[in-house]
Amino acid sequence: MTPLTVIKIGGNVIDNPAALSQFLTAFAKLPGAKILVHGGGKIATQVAEKLGVQTTMIEGRRITDQPMLDVVTMVYGGLVNKQIVAKLQTLEVNAIGLTGADAGTVLAQKRPVTAIDYGFVGDIIDVDSGRIQAMLMQGLTPVYAPLTYDQTGSLLNTNADTMASTIAVDMTQRNAVTLVYCFEKKGVLTDPDDNDSVIAELTPKLYAEYKAAGTINKGMIPKLDNAFAALQNGVAKVIICHADEVGAAVSQQGAGTVLSQ
Amino acid sequence: MTPLTVIKIGGNVIDNPAALSQFLTAFAKLPGAKILVHGGGKIATQVAEKLGVQTTMIEGRRITDQPMLDVVTMVYGGLVNKQIVAKLQTLEVNAIGLTGADAGTVLAQKRPVTAIDYGFVGDIIDVDSGRIQAMLMQGLTPVYAPLTYDQTGSLLNTNADTMASTIAVDMTQRNAVTLVYCFEKKGVLTDPDDNDSVIAELTPKLYAEYKAAGTINKGMIPKLDNAFAALQNGVAKVIICHADEVGAAVSQQGAGTVLSQ
């Protein structure tokens, strides 16, 4: 099994040009095959506002009507994705910017309307890991925007955390995959106000205890549920760390939180 | 030499959803390996206006300052490109949307400032035809937005006609290339008001005569100069036709204008 690192960076890094540049420099230095999945950031909301497209969030999730889908296609699939790709090219990473529609790599279905109509939001149904593998074999580094497509030819807004974990799981068929979630904190914290209270290693048992005690807060729970599910589905290692510390975290130099089974 | 068709579609097709859909259906049916290069259309100007970014045209060319570069990156590289890719996927074309930065395939340099400062406009200096060939060999259909990048990591706005002809010329190393310019008229006309006055075949000698007589008008001259240059540089055939007639034109059923040496 070839080592492969799948890294997700969040919107807070995207929103800060200096932080993004620093992250991309660290990403470029990571050895071996790698895939980057990026979030959206606040730019989409800002662009939407200027274009007169209203942003509606329900339970922290963006409702994606047709005008908003156009905005996120522009911002995530165009502006953010291509700026990252062009920057990585200067760092000698042969990046290729993709949405799930490109090369038919990440097919989704529009989320069924229940109590909430999320609009053009996609739940992933198939990853063409063979296609992605072929790109890696050619020395390319896929950079995914959080967009997928469905069989009717519609693009769909897709949660970047889920996109990263789903791709990571699918790539385990041929690789020993490390999945890294980079965000604005140094890892999973026991005290959200103390950035040095990083839990070095988190097992499902410890996670259950922290949840029961209320130590791990609400915002982290979907991320961690997602992460443990990836481990259960064949991902070799999951790391949650600060974007600035991705190098140290991946090379096991004691940064971030490592999830284990 | 494997046959390869490189097709450029202009902004007028992009601006009309029904025309675009019709074109993509015809494009999907074209046999063999193919590459699509699309222009921008008026959407960039409309989005720029809504975002408060001023559009400045000098001699029909867009001046691309940093805010305008962001707009064209969003619109050409995101919205237009990804909508085309998603639509082609439903037509069983395994499309992959690219800018020149993606996979490092089309490197440019920022146009030097002379009497006019075009801003972030790129003149192509290198096409990695080997990379593009590898995609074709995998059954992928590259769909290029008219954007390139330079060695400083900047994206650059690039003329789509030039991008199509430059890629076409570079691909002649390994392919028998047909270059097709699709636009809103049925071909090169002897009477611009009569869409049936199509010149079936245009040689350099005939072109010189039509130019001298003023029959071929100003707007067509850069396009035709570009097209004849492509022929001189190894492209096997250049066709200029209406987007609706691309199928008939490519299969030599008497549509459009064929340029010959």
Q: Answer left, alpha or beta for residue A36, where phi above 0 means left and psi between -120 and 50 means alpha.
A: beta
**Domain span holding position B242:** 2-259
B91: closest chain A residue by CA: A153
pLDDT at B55: 87
A141/A34 Cα distance (integer angstroms)? 6
B72/B39 Cα distance (integer angstroms)? 11
User: Which pLDDT band, with edges at 50, 70 and 90, does B260 fall under?
Assistant: confident
* Cβ pair A6, A37 in contact under 8 A: yes
Range from A16-25, A71-80, B67-76, B246-255 carrying the lowest mean pLDDT: B246-255
pLDDT digits (tens, 9 = 90+) for A7-62: 999 888 999 999 999 999 999 999 999 999 999 888 999 999 999 999 888 877 77
Query: In which order are the strands placed within the sheet that holds A2-9?
Result: A95-98, A141-144, A33-38, A2-9, A175-183, A237-242, A257-259, A201-202
Mean pLDDT in residue range A61-78:
94
pLDDT at A25: 97
User: Which pLDDT band, with edges at 50, 70 and 90, does B215 fall under?
Assistant: confident
pLDDT higher for B226 or A36? Answer: A36
User: Which pLDDT band, with edges at 50, 70 and 90, does A218 fall under?
Assistant: confident
pLDDT digits (tens, 9 = 90+) for A87-139: 999 999 999 999 999 999 999 999 999 888 999 999 999 999 999 999 999 99
Task: Express as a percent the part of chain A with pLDDT over 90.
Answer: 80
B215/B211 Cα distance (integer angstroms)? 6
B115 pLDDT above the threshold of 80: yes
Residue B157 labelled as part of a binding site: yes
| ipTM score assigned to the predicted complex | 0.95
Q: Do B103 and A96 count as a contact with CB atoms less than 8 A apart?
A: yes
pLDDT digits (tens, 9 = 90+) for A229-240: 999 999 999 999
Q: Do A74 and B70 count as a contact with CB atoms less than 8 A apart?
A: no
Task: Express as a percent the part of chain A with pLDDT over 70.
Answer: 100
**Which residues in chain B touch residue A134, judged by CB atoms under 8 angstroms apart?**
138
Q: SS3 for A180?
A: strand
**DSSP output for B109-174:** EEPPPSSS--BSBEEEEEE-HHHHHHHHHTT-EEEE-SEEE-TTS-EEE--HHHHHHHHHHHHTTT
pLDDT at B62: 78
pLDDT at B223: 87
User: Which pLDDT band, with edges at 50, 70 and 90, does A242 fall under?
Assistant: very high
pLDDT digits (tens, 9 = 90+) for A161-195: 999 999 999 999 999 999 999 988 899 999 888 88
* Cα-trace Rg, chain B: 18
Mean of the per-residue pLDDT values for chain B?
94
Type of residue found at B35? I
* Cβ pair A40, A12 in contact under 8 A: no
pLDDT digits (tens, 9 = 90+) for B118-173: 999 999 999 999 999 999 999 999 999 999 999 999 999 999 999 999 999 999 99
What is the count of structural domains for chain A? 1
B3 pLDDT above the threshold of 90: yes
How far does B37 lie from chain A, in Å, by closest CA?
15
A217 pLDDT above the threshold of 80: no
pLDDT at A134: 97
How far does B89 lie from chain A, in Å, by closest CA?
7
Q: Which of A4-13, B96-105, B221-230 has the highest mean pLDDT?
A: B96-105
**DSSP output for chain B:** -EEEEEEEE-HHHHT-HHHHHHHHHHHHHS-SEEEEEE---THHHHHHHHTTPPP-EETTEE-B-HHHHHHHIIIIIIIIHHHHHHHHHHTT--EEEE-TTGGG-EEEEEPPPSSS--BSBEEEEEE-HHHHHHHHHTT-EEEE-SEEE-TTS-EEE--HHHHHHHHHHHHTTTEEEEEEEEESSSSSBSSTT-TT-B-SEE-HHHHHHHHHHT-S-TTHHHHHHHHHHHHHTT-SEEEEEEGGGHHHHHTTSS-SEEE--
Mutate to test the interface with A, among B79, B92, B138, B151 (most CBs of A within 10 A): B79
Look-up: residue for tokens 């593998």? A133
B59 pLDDT above the threshold of 80: no
**How many other CB atoms sit within 10 Å of the CB of residue B38?**
27
Provide the CATH number for the domain around residue A41. Answer: 3.40.1160.10
For A75, the closest of B78, B99, B155 (CB atoms) is B78
A242/B38 Cα distance (integer angstroms)? 39
